[in-house]
């Protein structure tokens, strides 16, 4: 009996177009993107092109995209990076009770260090957080609010635009884990007042082990590791060129097919 895989909320199979693009990179491009000679420049061009593709879908500038090893690293970089960069100015982090463990566990770890205070805001019966509850939790020392866009277990879509407007009015940075929604739903950072956004390729028919963090221009972000200074020093380490190309192609294709795919799923 042939098995049918349906748990696309957990992960998705790699799209053939994505696999083909990655295979070409693995066969033909072996340079280090940090190298200045021809092979390195060829690899850098592929990374830059993927960065442009990701930025275009998110309504961002290419310089605002940081490639990571996935959504978990993107979430960690967002929370740890902002709180570290703002140390001495604010020590309060707000999140919700229904976040992914990559956010909740990171928040708890930061809290256990004794340098960060964490407020976990409850949600309603439908899993939705009330923007007013976020507003009520903000205090003078609040540095960051982290609220996911769409929940990975129950599918609730949070009112990110409303929460973002509150955060912007209060001078607080907003991070959104959009791993579950980017690719399926429109998430335009030129319209949504959000400062950091996590994405993960394997949720929209891309490869596992590669993701990205959108960091709005002007957002201070401390690096979590030292080394070669890649990604403008925000995420060091030689870039996974094939994976990054796969991420770029997967997100571009998902955006192009979004309307037809939504209609197809609605008709099932």
> Average pLDDT in the 2-26 region?
96
> Average pLDDT in the 32-44 region?
95
Phi and psi at 256, nearest 5°, equal -65, -35
Q: How far apart are CA 267 and CA 262, in angstroms?
A: 9
> Average pLDDT in the 73-85 region?
98
Q: How far apart are CA 13 and CA 51, in angstroms?
A: 22
Q: What is the pLDDT of residue 260?
A: 86
Q: Is the pLDDT of residue 265 over 80?
A: no
pLDDT (tens digit per residue) in 148-206:
999 999 999 999 999 999 999 999 999 999 999 999 999 999 999 999 999 999 999 99
> Average pLDDT in the 248-268 region?
89
pLDDT (tens digit per residue) in 114-139:
989 999 999 999 999 999 999 999 99
Confidence class for position 266, pLDDT limits 50, 70, 90: confident
CATH code that applies to domain 27-266: 3.40.640.10
Reduced DSSP (H G I as helix, E B as strand, rest coil) percent helix, strand, coil of the chain, to 5: 45, 15, 45
Q: What is the pLDDT of residue 263?
A: 80
Q: Is the pLDDT of residue 268 over 90?
A: no
pLDDT (tens digit per residue) in 50-64:
999 999 999 999 999
Strands ordered across the beta sheet of 65-68: 65-68, 211-215, 196-200, 173-177, 142-146, 92-96, 117-121
Q: How far apart are CA 156 and CA 176, in angstroms?
A: 14
**Average pLDDT across the chain, whole number:** 96
Q: What is the pLDDT of residue 261?
A: 82
Q: What is the pLDDT of residue 267?
A: 82
Domain ranges for the chain: 27-266
> Average pLDDT in the 199-215 region?
98
Q: How far apart are CA 55 and CA 61, in angstroms?
A: 6
pLDDT (tens digit per residue) in 93-109:
999 999 999 999 999 99
Tokens, residue 235 = 């995420």
């Amino acid at each position: 009996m042939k098995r049918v895989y349906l748990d696309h909320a957990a992960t998705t199979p790699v799209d053939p177009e994505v696999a083909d693009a990655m295979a070409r990179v693995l066969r033909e491009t072996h340079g280090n993107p940090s190298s200045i000679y021809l092979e390195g420049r060829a690899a850098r061009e592929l990374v830059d092109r993927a960065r442009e593709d990701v930025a275009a879908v998110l309504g961002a500038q290419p310089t605002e995209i940081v490639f990571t090893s996935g959504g978990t690293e993107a979430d960690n970089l967002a929370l740890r990076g902002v709180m570290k960069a703002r140390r001495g100015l604010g020590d309060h982090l707000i999140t919700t009770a229904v976040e992914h463990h990559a956010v909740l566990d990171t928040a708890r770890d930061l809290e256990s260090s004794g340098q960060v205070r964490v407020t976990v805001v409850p949600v309603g019966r439908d899993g939705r957080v009330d923007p007013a509850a976020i507003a009520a939790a903000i205090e003078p020392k609040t540095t960051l609010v982290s609220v996911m866009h769409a929940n990975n277990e129950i599918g609730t879509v949070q009112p990110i635009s409303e929460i973002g407007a509150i955060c912007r009015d209060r001078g607080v940075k907003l991070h959104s884990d959009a791993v579950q929604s980017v690719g399926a739903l429109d998430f335009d950072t030129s319209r949504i007042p959000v400062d950091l956004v996590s994405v993960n390729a394997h949720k929209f028919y891309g490869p596992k082990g590669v993701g990205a963090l959108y960091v709005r221009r002007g957002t201070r972000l401390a690096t979590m590791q030292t080394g070669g200074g890649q990604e403008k020093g925000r995420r060091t380490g030689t870039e996974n060129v094939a994976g990054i190309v796969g991420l770029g192609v997967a997100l571009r294709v998902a955006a192009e097919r979004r309307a037809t795919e939504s209609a197809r799923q609605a008709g099932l």
